[in-house]
């Protein structure tokens, strides 16, 4: 493939003469989106995107009908206060239930397939899923759970977690979850704010071949969660009875539902803004914010993303590698509303080997493979070439999020995994429990670029003065309302926390906090979080631009860049985790600097390079530039419990190389 040289002025370093992948006419014609567009007389993605933004009432009304949303009533109004942001209401007069829309199938085909590393294999049909939800619905109701009560869970990504979530939402209870690897303080910082009535946990879990038990941690958590009336234990490692006996107010989940019927239930019909679940900000700069999402808005946004943008069909086997502490788990579960079979995995994606998820793909006929940019990079660096070791005949799309996907990882997906496949890099966040930009089934995939905006969201890129820019980096914004804006923040009675999080920068405009760029193809490049943007000499630099270059160096496993205040300016410091046996000597330093200079620009070249043994990251796997920056500058990190490996922060204190 012929490539252009980097375009320094436009800041678009990844332009190519030809796309890496283009959907064929048969594939486009068979897509859900083509069927959606046909009655509207639309023929291209640009046309349907413009329609979704310029005529939002027509778009969301058609989506409701196209996806056959189940509701007691839809109501006459489609959007109320449609110019208010925040404040717009979608289908404000409707009455519906999120869980009912996910449980529309009730047959003997697979709804859920589960792998717990190499220890557990299970399947659950649609009929079994409906019955399990019905039994737990009745058990919750008998225990006094009502609409608005909080049901919290410390659980792996397994069938019982989905059953519990759907049973809670079937009653109108509010769900909130985290993964079992969260520390005690991290759990309490989240659930302690929302006073749950029910706490669900597992007896333990598996990771990297090890069995980790939960009893001691959960017992300690329950001492501070005084609101919990029942603690229910899922049997995962075979010790649920013992754990339940050890917990105050403890009971096994199996015992809790034993007397209940699996007959069909009546789902609570509630307003679209009724809270569905509470998600949390990363909490690396203070106690996590409790972000409340409404059932109707989430259902509509996820239907749009699954059915139209991702082209998910009832015949699909949908996988996303996620824990229950990351919003991608919530997104994955909504794939049931498209009728798809969900492929669940809990544990290390490299146990017992780097082949494990690709083995899963072949064994189950996976059609949509969702993962993180970091996973793709790790597979590349492991030496595995899946196209040579696996069939992957059913795989038609790979989704990537969590951090920007480098251009070189685009290359690896097509050269090392599968050539005839859509690669959809997607980006959004916990704040909207969905995506602002991502893939679509009608557009080509260009190297290093997200395909474009998601349907129904009016995204743009603004400069510092609040004016739209093209071919330049700026703030990712959304200029019109969309359904999955948070209903509110918990414990934010005057809405000030909510307003300050998104609308303080540009009044009436959602400012997302990503440093982004719209390309000449109409695609998007995310250059990292704008609050972690480097600013040497007054020039804004995205950290992802540096990582894309340095992580091509064979000796480098991963990197983290910060701006260090120095001599009245800011200098770029690059921390490197190296492969075993590698040394950050003068030769490697020179090679890394040259790679960054040639691949990005001289301004991206770090002033200091420092080798470290570990890089701190959040529970969802994102590196934490801001926490490291605070440590380097001698400031306290306010919430170490938000990190998966908080001990790594100590590696960044008082580094001699950063004193001169």
> 326 in helix, strand or coil?
coil
> 226 in helix, strand or coil?
coil
CATH number of the domain that 380 lies in?
3.40.50.12780
CATH number of the domain that 163 lies in?
3.40.50.980
454 occurs within a structural domain: yes
> 117 in helix, strand or coil?
coil
The answer, yes or no, to whether residue 600 has pLDDT greater than 90, is no
The answer, yes or no, to whether residue 10 has pLDDT greater than 60, is no
13 pLDDT band, cuts 50/70/90, is: very low
User: What CA–CA distance (Å, rounded) separates 99 from 560?
Assistant: 41
424-436 pLDDT per residue, tens: 999 999 999 999 9
Q: Are 129 and 92 in the same domain?
A: no
132 pLDDT band, cuts 50/70/90, is: very high
CA atoms within 13 A on the CB side of 333: 30
With CA atoms as reference, report the closest residue to 574 among 537, 604, 531, 616: 604
305 pLDDT band, cuts 50/70/90, is: very high
Looking at residue 161, what is its pLDDT?
98
Q: Which of 527, 542, 567 is the last residue of a domain?
A: 527
Looking at residue 2, what is its pLDDT?
31
Domain that holds residue 570: 533-659
Range with lowest mean pLDDT among 117-126, 189-198, 282-291, 369-378: 282-291
Looking at residue 283, what is its pLDDT?
65
Range with lowest mean pLDDT among 274-283, 378-387, 451-460: 274-283
Quick count: other Cβ atoms within 10 Å of Cβ 539?
Answer: 11
7 occurs within a structural domain: no
The whole-model pTM stands at 0.89
| Cis status, amide bond into 352, omega within 30 of 0 | yes
Range with lowest mean pLDDT among 59-68, 93-102, 348-357, 632-641: 632-641
Number of domains composing the chain:
3
Looking at residue 7, what is its pLDDT?
36
Looking at residue 16, what is its pLDDT?
55
Contact 561, 569 (CB under 8 A): no
The answer, yes or no, to whether residue 1 has pLDDT greater than 70, is no
User: What CA–CA distance (Å, rounded) separates 431 from 273?
Assistant: 15
The sheet that has 427-429: what strands, in order across it?
A: 427-429, 434-438, 452-453
Q: Are 446 and 561 in the same domain?
A: no
Q: Is residue 227 classed exposed, middle or buried when 0-12, 13-18 and 19+ CB atoms within 10 A define those classes?
A: middle
552-597 pLDDT per residue, tens: 999 999 999 999 988 877 899 999 999 999 999 999 999 999 999 8
204-234 pLDDT per residue, tens: 999 999 999 999 999 999 999 999 999 999 9
The residue to which tokens 């969309």 are assigned: 482
Q: Are 189 and 94 in the same domain?
A: no
Instruction: Please report the sign of the dihedral spanned by the C-alpha atoms of residue 239, residue 185, residue 278, residue 148.
Output: positive
Looking at residue 128, what is its pLDDT?
98
Backbone angles phi, psi at 400, to 5 degrees: -135, 135
Contact 584, 609 (CB under 8 A): yes
Contact 429, 442 (CB under 8 A): no
In whole numbers, what is the pLDDT of the chain averaged over residues? 93
The residue to which tokens 């934490």 are assigned: 624
Q: Are 249 and 331 in the same domain?
A: no
Q: Are 296 and 208 in the same domain?
A: no
The answer, yes or no, to whether residue 284 has pLDDT greater than 70, is no
Q: Which of 527, 555, 580 is the last residue of a domain?
A: 527
285 pLDDT band, cuts 50/70/90, is: low
Contact 211, 238 (CB under 8 A): no
The answer, yes or no, to whether residue 539 has pLDDT greater than 80, is no
627 occurs within a structural domain: yes
Looking at residue 540, what is its pLDDT?
74
Q: Are 226 and 293 in the same domain?
A: no
- Please state, for a pLDDT cut of 90, what percent of the chain lies above it: 85
Q: Which of 228, 257, 286 is the last residue of a domain?
A: 257
Looking at residue 566, what is its pLDDT?
87
Q: Are 546 and 488 in the same domain?
A: no
The answer, yes or no, to whether residue 637 has pLDDT greater than 90, is no
14 pLDDT band, cuts 50/70/90, is: very low
Looking at residue 531, what is its pLDDT?
82
4 occurs within a structural domain: no
If you average pLDDT over residues 233-241, what whole number do you get? Answer: 98
Q: What is the DSSP string of 533-584?
A: -B-GGG--B-HHHHHHHHTTSTTEEEEEEEEEEETTEEEEEEEEEEPTT---
363 occurs within a structural domain: yes
The answer, yes or no, to whether residue 369 has pLDDT greater than 70, is yes
Name the helix (H) or strand (E) containing 32.
helix 32-37
CATH number of the domain that 615 lies in?
3.30.300.30
265 occurs within a structural domain: no
Looking at residue 19, what is its pLDDT?
97
If you average pLDDT over residues 170-179, what whole number do you get? Answer: 97
β-pair partners for 119: none
Q: Are 351 and 422 in the same domain?
A: yes
Looking at residue 618, what is its pLDDT?
85
105 occurs within a structural domain: no
282 pLDDT band, cuts 50/70/90, is: confident
> 56 in helix, strand or coil?
helix
The answer, yes or no, to whether residue 530 has pLDDT greater than 90, is no
Backbone angles phi, psi at 614, to 5 degrees: -155, 160
For residues 125 and 535, which has the higher predicted lDDT (pLDDT)? Answer: 125
Q: Where are the beta strands (DSSP E) in 126-219?
A: 150-154, 174-178, 198-202, 204-207, 210-213
| Cis status, amide bond into 86, omega within 30 of 0 | yes
Looking at residue 4, what is its pLDDT?
34
Q: Are 523 and 538 in the same domain?
A: no
Q: Are 425 and 454 in the same domain?
A: yes
Q: Are 605 and 621 in the same domain?
A: yes
264 occurs within a structural domain: no
Q: Are 289 and 409 in the same domain?
A: yes
241 pLDDT band, cuts 50/70/90, is: very high
Looking at residue 11, what is its pLDDT?
38
* Most distant CA pair in the chain, distance: 71
């Amino acid at each position: 493939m012929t490539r252009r040289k980097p375009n320094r002025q436009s800041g678009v370093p990844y332009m190519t003469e030809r796309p890496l992948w283009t959907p064929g006419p048969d594939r486009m014609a068979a897509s859900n989106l083509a069927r959606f567009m046909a009655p509207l007389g639309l023929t291209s993605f640009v046309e349907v995107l413009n329609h979704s933004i310029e005529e939002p009432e027509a778009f969301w009304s058609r989506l409701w009908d196209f996806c056959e949303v189940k509701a007691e009533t839809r109501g006459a109004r489609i959007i109320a206060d449609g110019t208010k942001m925040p404040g717009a209401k979608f289908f404000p007069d409707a009455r519906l239930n999120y869980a009912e829309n996910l449980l529309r199938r009730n047959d003997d085909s697979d709804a859920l397939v589960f792998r717990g590393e190499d220890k557990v294999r299970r399947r659950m049909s649609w009929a079994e899923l409906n019955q399990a939800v019905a039994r737990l619905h009745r058990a919750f109701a008998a225990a006094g759970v009502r609409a608005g009560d909080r049901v919290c869970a410390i659980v792996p990504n397994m069938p019982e977690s989905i059953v519990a979530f759907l049973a809670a939402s079937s009653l109108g209870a509010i769900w909130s979850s985290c993964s079992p690897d969260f520390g005690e303080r991290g759990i309490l910082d989240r659930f302690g704010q929302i006073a749950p009535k029910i706490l669900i946990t597992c007896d333990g879990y598996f990771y990297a071949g090890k069995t980790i038990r939960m009893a001691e941690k959960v017992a300690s958590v329950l001492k501070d969660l005084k609101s919990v009336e029942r603690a229910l234990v899922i049997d995962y490692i075979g010790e649920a009875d013992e754990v339940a006996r050890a917990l105050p107010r403890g009971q096994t989940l199996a015992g809790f539902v034993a007397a209940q019927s699996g007959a069909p239930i009546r789902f609570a019909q509630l307003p679209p803004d009724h809270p569905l679940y509470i998600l949390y900000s990363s909490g690396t700069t203070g106690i996590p914010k409790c972000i409340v999402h409404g059932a109707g808005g989430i259902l509509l946004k996820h239907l749009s993303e699954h059915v139209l943008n991702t082209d998910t069909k009832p015949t699909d086997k949908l996988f996303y590698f996620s824990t229950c502490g990351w919003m991608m788990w919530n997104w994955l579960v909504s794939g049931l509303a498209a009728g798809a079979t969900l492929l669940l995995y809990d544990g290390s994606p490299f146990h017992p080997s780097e082949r494990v998820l690709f083995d899963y793909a072949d064994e189950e006929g996976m059609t949509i493979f969702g993962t993180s940019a970091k996973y793709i990079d790790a597979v590349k660096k492991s030496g595995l070439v899946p196209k040579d070791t696996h069939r992957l005949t059913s795989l038609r799309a790979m989704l990537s999020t969590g951090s920007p996907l480098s251009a070189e990882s685009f290359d690896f997906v097509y050269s090392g995994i599968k050539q005839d496949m859509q690669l959809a890099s997607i980006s959004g966040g916990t704040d909207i429990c969905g995506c602002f930009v991502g893939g679509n089934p009608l557009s080509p995939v260009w190297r290093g670029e997200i395909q474009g905006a998601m349907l129904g969201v009016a995204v743009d890129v603004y400069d510092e003065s609040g004016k739209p820019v093209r071919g330049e980096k700026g703030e990712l914004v959304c200029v019109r309302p969309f359904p999955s804006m948070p209903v509110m923040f918990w414990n934010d009675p005057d809405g000030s926390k909510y307003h300050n999080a998104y609308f303080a920068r540009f009044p009436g405009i959602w400012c997302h906090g990503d440093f982004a760029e719209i390309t000449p193809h109409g695609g998007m490049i995310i250059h990292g979080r704008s609050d972690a943007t480097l600013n040497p000499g007054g020039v804004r630099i995205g950290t992802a631009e540096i990582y894309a270059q340095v992580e091509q160096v064979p000796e480098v496993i991963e990197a983290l860049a910060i701006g260090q205040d120095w001599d009245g300016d800011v200098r770029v410091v690059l921390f490197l985790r190296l492969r075993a046996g590698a040394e950050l000597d003068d030769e490697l330093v020179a090679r890394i600097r040259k790679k960054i200079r040639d691949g990005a620009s001289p301004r991206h070249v770090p002033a200091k390079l420092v080798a470290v043994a570990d890089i701190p990251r959040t529970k969802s796997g994102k590196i934490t530039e801001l926490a490291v920056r605070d440590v380097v500058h001698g400031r306290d990190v306010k919430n170490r419990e938000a990190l998966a490996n908080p001990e790594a922060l100590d590696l960044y204190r008082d580094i001699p190389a950063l004193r001169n």
